[in-house]
Amino acid sequence: MKTTLSLLAAALLLAACAGPEPRRLTAREAADAALPAGFTTPQGTGPVAAELPWAQAFQGERLQRLMPLALERNRDLRVAVANIESARATASARDADLWPTVNAVFSGSRTPTAAGGINSLYQAGVQVSAYELDLFGRLRGLSSAAAAQVLAAESAQQAVRTALVASVATAEIALQADEALLRLTRDTLATREQSLALVKQRFDGGVAGELDLRSAESALQAARAALAQTQRQRALDENALALLLGGPLPADLPAPRGDVSAFEPLAELPAGLPAEVLTRRPDIRQAEFALAAADANIDAARAAFWPRITLTASAGTASGHLSDLFKNSAWSFAPALVQPLFDAGRNRANLAAVRAAREVALAQYEKAIQTAFREVADGLSSRSALAEQRSALAAQVEAERRRLDAAEQRYAAGVSSALDRLDAQRSLFAAQQSLVQVQSLRAQSLVALYRALGGAR
């Protein structure tokens, strides 16, 4: 009796080597610590991006056709779905560890005796092999960790879906901008071809000098180079969209109209937003579930310091003759208590590893929250700044157009030179290009803001 008590006391002492568990920050505490104070109070009214499906946020016949194709065929989304199935299979395997394994057993042996005879033994029955009584929660901890990983994989799949929807919308905006720039560049090229023909006619008549002629030629070649560059960019953007779709664009897809000025999803978002809106983002939920899995792994690693109680049992029949196999019953029951005495520090190292992994998961969770707030702040700032820039550029385009009209009239009247007219053409073209680019940037920033707020369902 004293020996048994001594062994039990030694087992408990060795189990205590895990040491006290440091206090862990909860996910809510970590989120509160990471949240900027300026975003905790909502102000204003507006749509909630997380509750607004992409079909309502992004209008247009092309996007309404392209988005379902991407959600069906995109390879990254397929990988995310497969990762969910893998996580679920792992969780099922961990759950199965909580239950005994029962096997049907049939065996037979023949052994020679010293007298020259043969001893035969046949056995049949069922066997429960080394079933662990999870008194200290080791198996439950592993099962909880696997279940949290399933939720993390599901959130990761939603994050991939959100990113895919935003990427398709962004690629479509880029194509619309390319089409607008192509139309603008073709018009400019045609205008400069006409200008060159007129200057050459005046040069041949001795009215214009060689400087005017060479300047017109240079302007024409610059327009041709700009057209080639824009055509190249359009091909690249189309290839990027095809990759997102997981295949070529539909042959009957309407051509882009080249209009990005009407692209205004979520144009009336409030300037202040509650923290709860951003913590619904799938990437933040993924990090939170990963943190929960790390907590469960710590519980399992601590339980490894405590004794393990296993049960092995069998029931069946045994006989020396195969014909009498089912006439004699036999059974066995063998409980065992196993307490690690010396493992060269393996359990301590495992515990230290999962504690470090938990710190990594905590830091990643806090960073995910901080990243979300930065993305929203950037999106809100870009929305207002780009709107002002767009208005200013639109006014500049109008001013440059009037300047060109005046330069055309002065040139026709012989008051100003061809260089003044050419300079006005160049300034108008540059202002028009800048306006299209800023319109595209504003539309893309609105898509990014929609994604940052957890939209794109």
Count Cβ atoms below 10 Å from residue 253 Cβ, excluding itself: 13
Angle, CA 114 vertex, CA 110 and CA 120 arms, to 5°: 20
Between 328 and 224, where is the model more confident?
Answer: 224
Q: Please say if the pLDDT value at position 234 is more than 80.
A: yes
- At residue 176's C-alpha, the angle toward residues 171 and 178, to 5°, is 95
Give whichever of 117-126, 200-209, 235-244 has the largest mean pLDDT: 235-244
Does the residue 23 lie in any domain? no
**Confidence band, pLDDT 50/70/90 cuts, at residue 140:** confident
Mean pLDDT of 169-175: 91
| pLDDT at position 319 over 60 | no
Let me know the angle formed at the C-alpha of 218 by 229 and 423, rounded to the nearest 5 degrees: 95
Cα dihedral 141, 147, 151, 153, rounded to 10, equals: 100
Give me the domain span that covers residue 95: 41-109+120-452
What's the confidence (pLDDT) of residue 38?
55
Percentage of the residues of the chain whose pLDDT score is greater than 90? 28
- Nearest CA among 158, 168, 141, 183 for reference residue 83: 158
**Whole-prediction pTM:** 0.81
Among the residue ranges 34-38, 58-62, 155-159, 269-273, the one predicted with the least confidence is: 269-273
For 379-393, what is each residue's pLDDT tens digit? 888 888 888 999 999
* Identity of the residue numbered 109: S
Residue 15 forms part of a structural domain: no
- pLDDT tens digits, one per residue of 83-116: 999 999 999 888 888 888 777 777 666 676 666 6
**What mean pLDDT, rounded, does the chain reach?**
80
**179 domain-assigned:** yes
pLDDT band at 232 (very low <50, low <70, confident <90, very high): very high
Separation between Cα atoms, residue 154 and residue 150, nearest integer Å: 6
pLDDT given for residue 136 in this prediction: 78
pLDDT band at residue 308 under the 50/70/90 scheme = confident
Q: What is the mean pLDDT of residues 54-82?
A: 88
* pLDDT for the residue numbered 37: 62
Q: Are the C-beta atoms of 381 and 389 separated by less than 8 Å?
A: no
In a domain, 442, yes or no: yes
If you average pLDDT over residues 5-10, what whole number do you get? Answer: 50
Q: Which two tokens stand for residue 324?
A: 């009498």
Residues in the chain: 457
133 forms beta bridges with 309
The count of other CB atoms within 10 Å of the CB of residue 421 is 24
**pLDDT confidence tier of residue 263, bands split at 50, 70 and 90:** low
pLDDT tens readout for residues 387-436: 899 999 999 999 999 999 999 888 888 788 788 888 898 999 999 999 99
User: Is residue 102 in a domain?
Assistant: yes
Residue 135 pLDDT grade (very low, low, confident, very high; cuts 50, 70, 90)? confident
25 is a domain residue: no
31-49 tens-digit pLDDT: 666 666 655 444 444 556 6
* 348, part of any domain: yes
Domain annotation covers residue 167? yes
Domain count, the chain: 1
pLDDT score at 187: 92
C-alpha span between 76 and 410 (Å, rounded): 59
Which strands make up the sheet holding 118-133, listed edge to edge?
102-112, 118-133, 308-319, 329-338
Q: Which two tokens stand for residue 203?
A: 């040069």
Q: Which pLDDT score, from 0 to 100, does residue 43 have?
A: 45
What token pair was written down for 331? 């059974």
CATH number of 390's domain: 1.20.1600.10
